Chain A
Amino acid sequence: MDNSIYVTLSRQLALFRDVDMVANNIANANTTGYNSEHLQFNSYLTKDISQGNKNPVNFAYNAYSYRNMETGPMRVTGNDLDVAIEGPGYFTLDTPLGERYTRAGNFQIDGTGTLVNTDGYPVLDISGQPIILPENTTSIQIGEAGNIKVNGEDFGSIGVVQFENPQLLERLSGRIFKSDANPQPAENYRMMQGTLEGANVQPITELTRMIALTHAVSDTAKFIEVVYDLERKASNTWAQQS
C-alpha cells in the first residue's frame, strides 16, 4: 500500500493538535499570568536511506510543546495586593499537595489575615512560611525585591524562586505549575505592586496561525483526494487492460 495517505494523515493529526493549542491560547488571552503554549513539529523517519532503503518516508509528529516565557504586558490595577514579577521567577504557593508555583500575583487576604492566591493557597515568604498580616493592617507596601512593609514597618519578604530549566515545569489548572526539580532563589527580577502581568498571548500571531492551519488542513485534505484519485485511475486502467 502506498505510504502517501498515511504520511498526510500524520500531518493532519498533528495540525489538529496545533489548532487545539491555538484555541487554548486565544481562550486564555485575558488570563492573568498565562504563558502561551506552542507546538514543535518534528519528522519521524522510517525506511532510512542509510539502511539501504531507496524511498525514505518522513511522518510528521509533534515532538514537544514549549511555553513562551516572555514577560506579559503589565497592567496597572492600583490594588495593593496585586503584584507582578518582571523578569524570571515564580511565587511559591503552599497547596495541600505540596508546593506549587505561579506567576499570577493577584493575591488576597483571607479571614485569618493570611496572604493567599485566588484559590486560597497561602503565598510563601523567602523562608517558606505563610505570610500572616496583623489585624490592624491599614497599609501594605511591597518593594521591588518583594520586601513587605505593613503600616510602615518591615514585615518579611515575598519569596520568588526560579528553576534551572523552567520548561520542565508541569502546567496544572489554575495558572499553577508543579516542579520535580528544587527551586532556587530567583535573581534579576523586579516586583511591582499594584500591577498584574497579563497573558503573553500574541493575538495577531495566534490568529494568523489559525488561518495558516485552516489552509494546511484543507491542503492535506486535497492531497488525500489526489492520491485517492490516482489510485482509482490506476485500478481502472488495470481493470481495462486485464
Chain B
Amino acid sequence: MRSLNIAATGMQAQQLYVDVTSQNLANINTTAYKLQRPEFEDLLYQNQRAAGSNSSDNGTLVPTGIQLGLGVRTAAIDRNTSQGTLQQTSSPLDVAIQGRGYFQITLPTGQIAYSRDGGFQIGPDGSIVSNDGFQVTPTITIPQNATSISIDQSGEVSATIPNQTTPQILGQMQTVNFINEAGLQAIGNNLFTETAASGAPVIGSPGLDGLGTVLQGFLETSNVNPVTELTNLIKAQRVYEMNSKVITKTDEMLNNLTQSV
C-alpha cells in the first residue's frame, strides 16, 4: 500500500506549513521582517500503463495511461520581499527604506551583512551602530556635542553643533541592491548575507539607481498579514487531518484484509 507513505509525506509537508506560519506569526512585530511561504510540489510518478503504448496487436494505442503519484515534497521556502508598512518612532536614528535596498552592517568577524532594519543607535565611539552594536557601513561618527541629527531622503547625515550657524555634514549613508533579494540567506538578528542566488550587491546612494529613499524617524514593520497567516494555519491543519484520515482508513482496509485471511 503506497497510500500510507503518500499520506505521511502529506503530513510532513503540512507540518512544515504550520512551522513556517508560526515563524511568520512569531515575527509579526519584528522590524523589517519579511514573510516566508513554503512551496510544495508533487513527487515522482509511477507509470503503471504508459499513454501511447499498444493496446492491441492491430496497433491501437492507449489514449491515456495510468500515472500514480507518490506524494508531496517541499520545493522551497520563499521570502516575500514586499514593503512593510512604515511606523513613526520619532527617534532621530530610526531610518526606514522606502523601496528597494539594504543597509550594510559589518559583523564582528569583518564580514558584511545586509539588513533593512534601520533602528540604529550611537556606539561608544560615537559611530552609528545597529541594535546589536555592529558597525553600520560606511562609518559615520556623530560628534559628542551634536544637539540634533538629521538624515535626508538621500541618506545624507548632518548634525547641528552648538555655536555653528549651518549644520555640519557628517557623511552619506549607502544602501545596496540585489537583483534577487529573495535569494539572500537569513542569518538571524534581521541580518542577511549574500549568496550565489542573490547576486552580488550593487552599492549606491538611496534614491538613485532603483534604490529606495530613506525616511528618518520611521521604522519598517514586518509585512506579515495576520489574517492570511491564520487562514493558512487553518488550511494546513485541515489538510493535515485529511492526510491522517487517509492513514486511518488505509489501516482499516489492511485490518479487514488480515482478518479475513
Contacts and interface: CB of A to CB of B under 8 A. Distances in A.
The finding on whether chains A and B are genuine partners in a shared complex, rather than unrelated, reads yes
B82 A79 contact: yes
A126 interface: no
Nearest to B202: A135
A25 B115 CA distance: 40
Interface stretch (A51-59, A152-160, A172-180): A172-180
Given A30-B13, A168-B51, A112 B246 contact: no
Interface stretch (B153-161, B185-193, B249-257): B249-257
A185 interface: no
Given A19-B253, A104-B41, A174-B42, A78 B80 contact: yes
Interface string B1-45: 111101101100110010000000000000000000101111111
Overall SS of chain A's interface: mixed
A111 B183 contact: yes
Contacts, number: 205
A148 B88 CA distance: 35
B12 to A, nearest CB: 9
B80 A27 contact: no
Contacts of B37: 77
Interface in B42-99: 42-45, 47-49, 51-52, 62-72, 75-76, 78, 80, 82, 99
Nearest to A174: B41
A214 interface: yes
A154 B124 CA distance: 51
Contacts of B198: 111
28 contacts: A17-B48, A19-B1, A19-B253, A20-B2, A23-B2, A23-B71, A23-B246, A24-B42, A30-B17, A31-B42, A31-B72, A39-B66, A65-B65, A111-B180, A111-B199, A118-B39, A119-B75, A135-B177, A138-B100, A165-B63, A168-B51, A170-B51, A173-B44, A175-B42, A203-B238, A210-B246, A214-B249, A217-B256
Interface of B: 1-4, 6-7, 9-10, 13-14, 17, 37, 39-45, 47-49, 51-52, 62-72, 75-76, 78, 80, 82, 99-100, 177, 179-180, 182-183, 195-200, 202, 209-210, 235-236, 238-239, 242-243, 245-246, 249-250, 252-253, 256-257, 259-260
Interface of A: 16-17, 19-24, 26-32, 34, 37, 39, 62, 64-66, 77-80, 104, 106, 108-113, 118-119, 133, 135-138, 151, 165, 167-168, 170-175, 180, 203, 206-207, 210-211, 213-214, 217-218, 221-222, 224-225
